[in-house]
Amino acid sequence: MAPIPFAEWRPDMPDLGQWAREALNVVPNEESYTPFNALATATNALAARAQGAAWFRCPDGTQKMFAGDASKLYRLNGPTWNDVSRTSGGAYAPGADGTWRFEQFGPLAIAVNGVDAPQKFDLSSGANWTALAGSPPIGTFIANVGDFLVMAKIGSTRQRVQWSAINNCESWGSNPATQADYNDEPDGGDITGLVGGEFGLIFQETAIRRMTYEGSPIVFRIDKIAKDLGASIPNSVAGVADLAFFLHKSGFYMIQGGQQVTPIGRGKVDRTFWREFDETNAFRASAAIDPVRGLYIFAYPANGNSGVPNRLLIYNWRTAKWSRAFQTCEFVYSGVAQQSYTLEQLDAFGTLDTLPFSLDSSYWTGVTSLLLFGFDTSHTAGAFNGAVMPATVETAELAPGDGRRVTLRGCRPLIDGGAPAIAAGVRESQQAIVAYTPFTGLTRAGLAPLRRSGRYFRLRATLASGAAWSNMQGVDDLDFRPAGQR
């Protein structure tokens, strides 16, 4: 029998078909599944739950990372989050369900939360966050669009988009000379997201609009590119290059080039996600981009987990495939290794036996290491660069006997490392529940001995946490015999 691949994970599809029902703690790639690493924290704790984080490139080429909670803003220095909140104006107050959002404009980091005055941090010489000058609006969302800083959902004006003067994020208002202005969107509901770049994307509850720079006197042409479709969950919005991702009540979508809106979860994960998503705690969700591996990652709380995010959906936009991970975390974000470390500098992170990452991890190698970061429920941060998580993948369900009962005697997993364990899922009819055999290891010849009779079969493979492997491709040498024969 020809090799059977570990199939594309599409839990929304019928059991009998070419799709798998599980792809857990793995990344979907072109011809295989690859490892997904656990969150390994390496810092002290924030004072409260993380409600936003981001990294910035400084004028001298170094990096800084910032984070915010319900009352403070922090800067990461080695393994230590230092309080760098404003020194006047009191504690911040984004609310328990608020989110800090960050953007860079030249040498300044900008932070907004929709409640407090926008804050700035001088990336060259700043010691604390201070109020952004120029009478800026109090925005909930923020992005760079061309040479402008743009904010959206302005105070109680929930459908307003406002932009700064050209090349000056500390000059606002409505001024034809500087091109600073604003626009109120006439329909589509509240603004729920904003993505910048060469053009801007304004997400509303039931509309998506594109901002295109025209110059004076119009400044920005704003065109509706989607009607009756928008971002239902604000924290699902994430963008990179000319791509943007968002979640609507009808499912997950991707926008390319500011025009093409493509459903990416339909017939794949949409129905499964909405069944298990704890919508009452939707504000706890977060989204991040892993640009190196081409991943959009959405962290969310499943029903029955007291609002704590404990699921990651992983979408590889290069292969248009999904997987998932079971990882409890407060928040996910795109981060970067801040510096390269010597062995002596690692002392602040622990002993060689207790370091959060291996010595050859990209976390230690320097400023070019773009990594997926997150906070755990103790409010400590780190990268998803820890131990390889325990992996589970499946083949599609097969009917090898064309309706007749057969006996599966064994198979050979096509997995390039670790100590795989294999189980067979078997049932007699499409009305029956799949029953799995106990997991079995491999013989010296690399075969998994199995003996189970039935009409419908699927093969499930697992690898333990920390196993050394690179690709899980499928199974080969499936030995099926007519039932009752040896």
- The residues, any chain, with a CB within 8 Å of residue 145's CB and separated by 6 or more, are 163, 196, 197, 199, 200, 211, 213, 220
Q: How far apart are CA 316 and CA 32, in angstroms?
A: 12
Residue 213 pLDDT: 97
Q: Which of residues 419 and 62 earns the better pLDDT score?
A: 419
Instruction: Round to the nearest angstrom and report the end-to-end CA distance of the chain.
Output: 17
Lowest mean pLDDT, pick from 6-15, 133-142, 189-198, 394-403:
394-403
% of the chain with per-residue pLDDT over 70: 93
* Polymer length in residues for the chain: 486
pLDDT of 207 strictly over 60 = yes
Residue 341 pLDDT: 46
User: What domains are there in the chain, each with its CATH number?
Assistant: 4-24+390-482 (2.60.120), 40-383 (2.130.10.10)
Q: How far apart are CA 219 and CA 110, in angstroms?
A: 23
The arithmetic mean of pLDDT across residues 266-272, rounded, is 98
Edge-to-edge, what's the strand order for the sheet holding 130-131? 101-105, 108-112, 119-122, 130-131
| CB neighbourhood size of 322 (10 A) | 23
pLDDT of 167 strictly over 90 = yes
Looking at residue 99, its amino acid is: T
Q: What is the DSSP letter of 234?
A: G
pLDDT of 263 strictly over 60 = yes
Classify residue 425 as exposed, middle or buried by CB count within 10 Å of its CB (0-12, 13-18, 19+): buried
Q: How sure is the predictor about 257, in pLDDT bands with cuts at 50, 70 and 90? A: very high
Q: What is the tens place of the pLDDT at every residue in 30-87?
A: 999 999 999 999 899 999 999 999 999 999 988 999 999 999 999 999 899 999 999 9
pTM of the model: 0.93
- The three-point CA angle 76-51-55 to 5° equals 40
Q: What is the tens place of the pLDDT at every residue in 287-310?
A: 999 999 999 999 999 999 999 999
Pairing of the two strands 108-112 and 448-454: unpaired
Residue 16 pLDDT: 87
Edge-to-edge, what's the strand order for the sheet holding 260-263? 238-240, 243-248, 251-256, 260-263
Is residue 13 within 8 A of residue 342, CB to CB? The reply is: no
Q: What is the tens place of the pLDDT at every residue in 331-360?
A: 999 998 755 545 554 455 456 555 554 555
